Amino acid sequence: MSAVSSILVVGAGQAAAVAVATLRDQGFDGRITVVGDEAHAPYERPPLSKAVLAAVEADEPGISVKEEDFFSARGIDLRLGTEVVSLDPASAQATLSDGSIVAYDRCLLATGGAARRLPGLTPDAPQVHYLRTLDEARRLRNALRQARSAVIIGAGFLGLEIASTARSMGVEVSVVETASRALGRVVPEAFSNWLQARVAASGATLYLGQSITDLQLPADGVRVSLSDGNVLQADLVVVAVGLVPSTALAQSAGLQLNAANGGIEVDALCRSSDARIYAAGDCTSQHHEGHGALRLESWQNANEQARIAACAMLGVDAPPAAFPWFWTDQFDCNIQMLGLPRAGLHYVLRGGIDPADASPKFIMLGLQGSVPRHALAVNAGGDLRALRPVLERGLSIDAAGFSDTSTTMKAYAKALLASAAG
């Protein structure tokens, strides 16, 4: 640890906050500099499309990753509203937008990503919105408070979360998606069908398999023409079509990027192609067994990679990353995903999947043969926790036994684990 006396963290989001906390918890007492281009101290992004967007301004929930005095109390130099404009691996120095130069023994790139933009939809237009930052969430919230209608482009997790929140605020919502079903890349068709029915029951309208043939921004709103001939008119439009990893700094520094997904290539310890530079969070591409190189855009992945990178920079062993997990709240349902989807899975159901159910509760389990690889739980977080070690250990299951609700999931999972232990 004595060989490392200064660490630079580029980016001031979730991963950055977790990384520096880990560094101090591991006993590192050297210089830590955190540089972030936003004016806000590190905050959590998942609430932006939910609690923050729906909040009355005076009652906006606190979303800071750490308490207000954390950085000063732990002796961390937090520089907000500042960018790292260049990174020189040869001299191990970074040049900042204010002209200052920061030297480092180790550097962590936690630059995250930016909302993918569509041509002709500049965020400078008052009726056009993207959602990635706290300031953008506040701007969209103010607009929704005054709007009667909105068009949301994109039926991924973010687009559907925004649609759900907008409907709860009484806004008429149309969601446009080029794919033939919602969340088609990450959930089975039966789940998409259930969710689409849930969206429709909320009063929102889904336009699936539609491309935009024309888009106009008159002074009083937005006019969107679709490939099926429908023309949607609304007060505002929200674009939620994915995220572009922020890798310009890494690229200019000569770091290896993944050609397929654009992320900064890192190994299991989050080391980049430069021995002194690490990366964590949405900007990274990492190999996952059975899936190849992936960019995992999730709260959990940012935390896990930040923790592992911090330990690796100090030469300290860290526990392996937790099993992939993701959650979303939308249309009065808590949805959790455990594991990663893959081609060829056969899904079995536990519980009822009636879209008209006011309080649905079910789990869909994706099997590879008899081994579960992917789980989707709706309002069944406790059951999913009981099932987690079964997926983590890759234990075979009996589909009929899994679907039998006369036995609790806790008892079912416990019996499987006991049988595996011999």
In CATH, what number is assigned to the domain containing residue 174? 3.50.50.60
Output the furthest CA–CA distance in the chain (Å, rounded): 70
Looking at the fold, whether 258 and 206 belong to one and the same domain comes out as no
Tokens of 414: 């416990």
pLDDT at 158: 98
Looking at the fold, whether 175 and 249 belong to one and the same domain comes out as no
Under 8 Å between Cβ of 49 and 137: yes
Interatomic CA distance for residues 260 and 293, integer angstroms: 8
| Structure-model confidence comparison of residues 218 and 1, the more confident one | 218
User: For residue 388, how many other CB atoms are within 10 A of its CB?
Assistant: 17
| Residue where a domain stops, chosen among 239, 258, 276 | 239
Looking at the fold, whether 159 and 224 belong to one and the same domain comes out as yes
Q: Is residue 54 part of a domain?
A: no
Interatomic CA distance for residues 3 and 28, integer angstroms: 11
Looking at the fold, whether 106 and 177 belong to one and the same domain comes out as no
Under 8 Å between Cβ of 165 and 204: no
Amino acid at position 103, single letter: A
Reported in sequence order, the residue ranges of 100-181 that DSSP labels E, i.e. its strands, are 101-103, 106-109, 113-115, 128-130, 149-153, 172-177
Q: What is the CATH number of the domain that holds 391?
A: 3.30.390.30
**All residues at 6 or more sequence positions from 293 whose CB lies less than 8 Å from its CB, including other chains:** 258, 260, 261, 263, 265, 285, 286, 287
Q: For residue range 370-417, what is the model confidence (pLDDT) as tens digits?
A: 999 999 999 999 999 999 999 999 999 999 999 999 999 999 999 999
Q: Is residue 217 part of a domain?
A: yes
Nearest to 266 by CA among 323, 305, 233: 305
Looking at the fold, whether 34 and 127 belong to one and the same domain comes out as no
Interatomic CA distance for residues 419 and 308, integer angstroms: 33
Residue pointed to by tokens 């550097």: 107
Q: Is residue 27 part of a domain?
A: yes
Q: Is residue 416 part of a domain?
A: yes
Looking at the fold, whether 360 and 255 belong to one and the same domain comes out as no
Interatomic CA distance for residues 165 and 336, integer angstroms: 18
Looking at the fold, whether 229 and 125 belong to one and the same domain comes out as yes
| Residue where a domain stops, chosen among 181, 210, 239 | 239
Interatomic CA distance for residues 239 and 115, integer angstroms: 8
| Residue where a domain stops, chosen among 239, 264, 284 | 239
Looking at the fold, whether 248 and 273 belong to one and the same domain comes out as yes
User: Residue 29 pLDDT > 70, yes or no?
Assistant: yes
Q: For residue range 46-70, what is the model confidence (pLDDT) as tens digits?
A: 999 999 999 987 789 999 999 989 9
Reported in sequence order, the residue ranges of 81-127 that DSSP labels E, i.e. its strands, are 84-88, 93-96, 101-103, 106-109, 113-115
Looking at the fold, whether 124 and 222 belong to one and the same domain comes out as yes
Residue pointed to by tokens 């080029």: 178
Query: How many domains is the chain partitioned into structurally?
Result: 3
Q: For residue range 170-220, what is the model confidence (pLDDT) as tens digits?
A: 999 999 999 999 999 999 999 999 999 999 999 999 999 999 999 999 998
Under 8 Å between Cβ of 319 and 366: no
Looking at the fold, whether 39 and 127 belong to one and the same domain comes out as no
Looking at the fold, whether 12 and 152 belong to one and the same domain comes out as no
Q: Across the strands, what pairs with 277?
A: 107
Residue pointed to by tokens 């964590």: 280
% of the chain beyond a pLDDT of 90 = 94
Helix, strand, coil in percent for the chain, rounding step 5: 30, 30, 40
Q: Is residue 38 part of a domain?
A: yes
Tokens of 363: 């789990």
Looking at the fold, whether 137 and 106 belong to one and the same domain comes out as no
pLDDT at 57: 74
Q: Is residue 156 part of a domain?
A: yes
User: Residue 320 pLDDT > 90, yes or no?
Assistant: no
Structural domain containing residue 269: 6-49+64-113+243-314
Under 8 Å between Cβ of 246 and 270: no
Angle between helices 409-421 and 381-393 (to 10 degrees): 20
Nearest to 113 by CA among 279, 236, 288, 297: 297
Q: Is residue 388 part of a domain?
A: yes
Q: Is residue 56 part of a domain?
A: no
pLDDT band, residue 343 (cuts 50/70/90): very high
SS3 286: strand
User: Residue 1 pLDDT > 70, yes or no?
Assistant: no
Mean residue pLDDT of the chain comes to 96
Tokens of 320: 């392996």
